[in-house]
A and B are shown apart, each in its own frame.
Chain A
Amino acid sequence: MPDRREVAAVFAGGAVGALCRALLGEAYPAATPGWPWVTFGVNIVGAFLLGYFATRLQERLPLSSYRRPLLGTGLCGGLTTFSTMQVELLTMIDTRHYGLAISYATTSVAGGYAAIHLATAMVRRVRVQVRV
């Protein structure tokens, strides 16, 4: 059983992440057919933040029981979304915008992966400098 503080941290982080994503979605509704900028943006930014937080918390900072659930599982998990991306891809395929679907899928994956990689490398480089 996870402790209550951990669950509360996931809840708080997830609430803030979901609110930010929903506010952006309402402010900038996606044009169909078009590039889903809000989903794409929150996903790449959230991936970068998770790469940063998770690497720092795992490899650099002392063990903490609530930071990872608050910032990683909660905030980044709530800010980013897989399901919306899949429904957007489905809509693009339905409307025969195959090129858009392929470029959206590959750019999201490549961008998300690169964001994690970059954030991880940044944290690790800082650690090496501190040790030297």
Chain B
Amino acid sequence: MTVLVWLGVVLIGGAGSVLRFAVDGAISSRTHRSFPYGTLVVNLSGAVLLGLVTGLALSHDAALLAGTAAVGSYTTFSTWMFESQRLAEDRQVPSLAVNIVGSLVAGVAAAALGRLVGSHL
């Protein structure tokens, strides 16, 4: 494990967060505010990407940079939970259920799809 790899984690991790910020902003500004579509799109696309990285069976360092740093930083658990809790506060029960159950079911399916594609590349 070299200093260069950790420098890469820092830079790529920062870039992953900026990409999330940009995608979330672009989706949220085009969709209805009553449902957090931006985070959903980010998290599901990230699940496909991390599945893909897993399927590629990269070296340890490459997986750390592409998976843990880039995709890990791009997706978010905290915002997903924050938006869910705020939906509950606003008594948006159907949206809350879709946001939690839908994200989990579609997230695992997205990861499986990504891994399938990655293992054939």
Cross-chain contact B108 with A73 (CB below 8 angstroms) = no
Is A56 engaged at the interface, CB distance under 8 Å to the other chain?
no
Interface residues of A in 9-43 (CB under 8 A from B): 10-19, 21-22, 25-26, 43
Classify the secondary structure of B's interface with A. Answer: helix
- Assess A78 versus B73: contact at CB under 8 Å? Given A17-B13, A87-B51: yes
Chain A residues whose CB sits within 8 angstroms of the CB of B46 once the complex forms: 82-83
Cross-chain contact B68 with A78 (CB below 8 angstroms) = no
Interface residues of B in 43-102 (CB under 8 A from A): 43, 46-47, 49-51, 54, 64, 67-69, 71-82, 84-85, 88, 100
Please report the total number of B residues contacting A with Cβ < 8 Å.
Answer: 51
Alpha-carbon distance A11/B15, docked complex (angstroms):
6
- Assess A2 versus B49: contact at CB under 8 Å? Given A47-B81, A105-B104: no
Other A-B contacts than A15-B13, A18-B12, A78-B73, 5 sampled, CB-CB below 8 A, are A18-B9, A19-B9, A76-B78, A89-B111, A113-B81
